[in-house]
Amino acid sequence: MKVQCCIVGGGPAGMMLGFLLARAGVTVAVLEKHADFLRDFRGDTVHPSTLNVIDELGLLDDFLKLPHHKISRFAGQFGDTRVQIADFSHLPVRCRYIAMMPQWDFLAFLAAHGRQYPDFALLMQADVQELIEADGRVCGVRAMVSGATVEIHADLVVGADGRHSTVRAKAGLEVDVLGAPMDVLWFRLAHKAGDPEEMMGRFDAGSILVMLDRGDYWQCAYVIAKGSAEKVRAAGIEKVRATISRLMPAFADRVGELRTMDDLKLLTVGVDRLKQWWKPGMLCIGDAAHTMSPIGGVGINIAIQDAVAASNILAAPLREGRLEDSDLAAVQERRLFPARATQAAQVFLQDRIIAPSLAGTDGGKVEVPFIVRLMQWFPVLRRLPARLMGMGVRPEHVRTSPG
Ligand SMILES: Cc1cc2nc3c(=O)[nH]c(=O)nc-3n(C[C@H](O)[C@H](O)[C@H](O)COP(=O)(O)OP(=O)(O)OC[C@H]3O[C@@H](n4cnc5c(N)ncnc54)[C@H](O)[C@@H]3O)c2cc1C
């Protein structure tokens, strides 16, 4: 198989880039190792910046027909003090909310629209294992597709294969590890009439719980100290239920829904960034270039923004067969600042809020951080986290047209 662009990974970054390039007349193959888009929770937050991109593509009305739930505020509780942290209702965009939508619906939507273009191929169960190189340049990949080895040759290979990227490892790109003090145990609790309609974060000494309203259930993140999952598991489900009831007394009536520790799924958290996102013939974007912490729920959206920037810069050179290394460097140059600034904010919050909270002993006192107190005195300041979370740093706009 020979295409102009071979994209490894059918996550948010890969599917959006595949769709945009095919729409612009570039022949594309997206290779996804799973058989479908269904998998453990990886973030279902479609932020205003992504909704804007979908709007620019003329697909917003169709997109909003998919089942979703709107969130326009984020509240927190530190110890006994309840505070408002972000309010999206003032953003200068059409959709002033986060659309909570299962990620598989979002990816299936992009796949369905991609397939409308003859230049778009999506290969499922295609596990990329090697890069093909010639004359110091990446010129394709070797993948296991339904049990057989297949070679796909391309002018450009894009690694959009997430935090454990095979492409970046095989290319030998150097990674700066910024680190994270926490891991997350995910679980669900039923949503009941009268529950608050917002995203909530509860910070207490030794424990943090974040709850995302999914309409008929709550997606809950029990944040634990890095590497402590086995200890939490050994302490047993009763201890987890008691902690949740203490953090959110209103939910004590349903913690029995957690029957065993198997109802909690561990997702490890990491923050890192490639020093150089490309080498001749290949480029990394999304988590493969800069693995994001779940803080702010911005990872999907920054991956989408990378895809928009990459297609703006690369579509014409790829289509016209004149791709240069300088085009790949231009993508990194465009997206490095947003990735670096967002990760710096995540690391700041990890160090100032998450780590001290987790280091406390159960029952100890947690203070409202000064910056959050300021937001209560001056509500206009709540627009800043809303802007950063909702729109990101340097929002991208679709500059390509249907080819
Ligand atoms: C606990 C946790 C919670 C999070 N919550 C949120 C949230 O609420 N909101 C948010 O915006 N972000 C969240 N994130 C971050 C978010 O998941 C990522 O930033 C985002 O998914 C990155 O998108 P991506 O397309 O770059 O990579 P991914 O979404 O990781 O997609 C990579 C794709 O590549 C495929 N793949 C991998 N290797 C290969 C291979 N060798 N061959 C073929 N295919 C391959 C994978 O199957 C996958 O489909 C969270 C992260 C964590 C750890």
Q: How far is the CA of 366 from the centre of ligand 1 (A)?
A: 32
pLDDT of residue 40: 59
Could you tell me if residue 44 is inside a domain?
no
Q: Two tokens at 255?
A: 């913690």
269 lines ligand 1 (CB under 6 A): yes
Residue 366 CA to chain centroid, in angstroms?
29
Residues 145 and 259 occupy one common structural domain: no
Could you tell me if residue 262 is inside a domain?
yes
CA distances from 215 to 102, 188, 194, 197 (A): 12, 12, 12, 9
| Cα–Cα distance for residue pair 321/351, rounded to 1 Å | 46
Indicate if the pLDDT at residue 363 is higher than 80. no
Residues 35 and 116 occupy one common structural domain: yes
Could you tell me if residue 35 is inside a domain?
yes
Residues 93 and 112 occupy one common structural domain: no
| Cα–Cα distance for residue pair 16/306, rounded to 1 Å | 9
CA-based nearest residue to 128, from 270, 365, 235, 288? 288
Section 129-142 average pLDDT = 97
Residues 121 and 26 occupy one common structural domain: yes
Closest protein CA for atom 3 of ligand 1: 294
Lowest mean pLDDT among 8-12, 63-67, 196-200, 280-284: 196-200
Q: How far is the CA of 163 from the centre of ligand 1 (A)?
A: 7
339 with 289: CB under 8 angstroms? yes
pLDDT of residue 332: 98
| Matching residue, tokens 């913690």 | 255
299 with 184: CB under 8 angstroms? no
pLDDT of residue 81: 85
pLDDT of residue 5: 98
pLDDT of residue 55: 97
Q: How far is the CA of 238 from the centre of ligand 1 (A)?
A: 31
Section 113-124 average pLDDT = 97
Lowest mean pLDDT among 33-47, 86-100, 233-247: 33-47
Could you tell me if residue 47 is inside a domain?
no
pLDDT of residue 95: 95
Residue 162 CA to chain centroid, in angstroms?
9
Q: Could you give the 3-state DSSP secondary structure of residue 175?
A: strand
Could you tell me if residue 125 is inside a domain?
yes
Ligand 1 pocket test, candidate residues 104, 145, 293, 300, most atoms within 8 A of CB: 300
Residues 233 and 252 occupy one common structural domain: yes
Q: How far is the CA of 169 from the centre of ligand 1 (A)?
A: 16
205 with 362: CB under 8 angstroms? yes
Lowest mean pLDDT among 7-11, 36-40, 156-160, 281-285: 36-40
Structure confidence at residue 357 as a pLDDT band (50, 70, 90): confident
Q: Which residues contact 263 (CB under 8 A, 6 or more apart)?
A: 187, 188, 237, 257
Percentage above 90 pLDDT, the chain:
72
Beta strands in 235-358 (DSSP E): 265-268, 272-274, 278-279, 282-284, 290-291
Indicate if the pLDDT at residue 92 is higher than 70. yes
CA end-to-end distance (rounded Å), the chain: 22
pLDDT of residue 212: 86
**Hey, how many other C-beta atoms are within 10 angstroms of the C-beta on 265?**
12
68 lines ligand 1 (CB under 6 A): no
Residues 167 and 186 occupy one common structural domain: no
Section 171-178 average pLDDT = 97
pLDDT digits (tens, 9 = 90+) for 189-241: 999 988 877 778 888 888 899 998 887 889 899 999 999 999 999 999 999 99
Residue 328, domain extent? 2-39+104-177+270-353
CATH code at 232?
A: 3.30.9.10
Residues 373 and 318 occupy one common structural domain: no
Indicate if the pLDDT at residue 88 is higher than 60. yes
Residues 262 and 194 occupy one common structural domain: yes
| Cα–Cα distance for residue pair 148/186, rounded to 1 Å | 35
Closest protein CA for atom 38 of ligand 1: 161
Q: How far is the CA of 9 from the centre of ligand 1 (A)?
A: 9
Structure confidence at residue 41 as a pLDDT band (50, 70, 90): low
Could you tell me if residue 58 is inside a domain?
no
Helix (H) or strand (E) holding 140: strand 137-145
Residues 193 and 318 occupy one common structural domain: no
CATH code at 337?
A: 3.50.50.60
Residues 164 and 202 occupy one common structural domain: no
13 lines ligand 1 (CB under 6 A): yes
Please give the tally of structural domains in the chain. 2
Indicate if the pLDDT at residue 365 is higher than 90. no
**Is 391 exposed, middle or buried (CB count within 10 Å of its CB: 0-12, 13-18, 19+)?**
buried
pLDDT of residue 370: 85
Indicate if the pLDDT at residue 76 is higher than 90. no
Could you tell me if residue 341 is inside a domain?
yes
Nearest ligand 1 atom to alpha carbon 285: 26
Residues 241 and 124 occupy one common structural domain: no
CA-based nearest residue to 29, from 128, 107, 102? 128
User: Does 307 or 44 have the greater pLDDT score?
Assistant: 307
Residues 327 and 341 occupy one common structural domain: yes
Q: What is the 3-state secondary structure (H, E, C) of 321-340?
A: CCCCHHHHHHHHHHHHHHHH
CA angle 10, 159, 31 (to 5 degrees): 35
32 lines ligand 1 (CB under 6 A): yes
Write 79-84 long-range contacts (CB < 8 A, 24+). Answer: 79/203, 79/204, 79/205, 79/365, 79/366, 79/367, 79/368, 81/368, 83/368, 83/372, 83/373, 83/375, 83/376, 84/375, 84/376, 84/379, 84/382
CA distances from 279 to 37, 134, 315 (A): 29, 13, 18
pLDDT of residue 207: 86
Average pLDDT score, the chain: 93
Indicate if the pLDDT at residue 358 is higher than 90. no
Could you tell me if residue 45 is inside a domain?
no
pLDDT of residue 23: 98
CA distances from 51 to 55, 60, 215 (A): 6, 7, 19
Structure confidence at residue 364 as a pLDDT band (50, 70, 90): low
Nearest ligand 1 atom to alpha carbon 299: 19
Q: How far is the CA of 246 from the centre of ligand 1 (A)?
A: 32
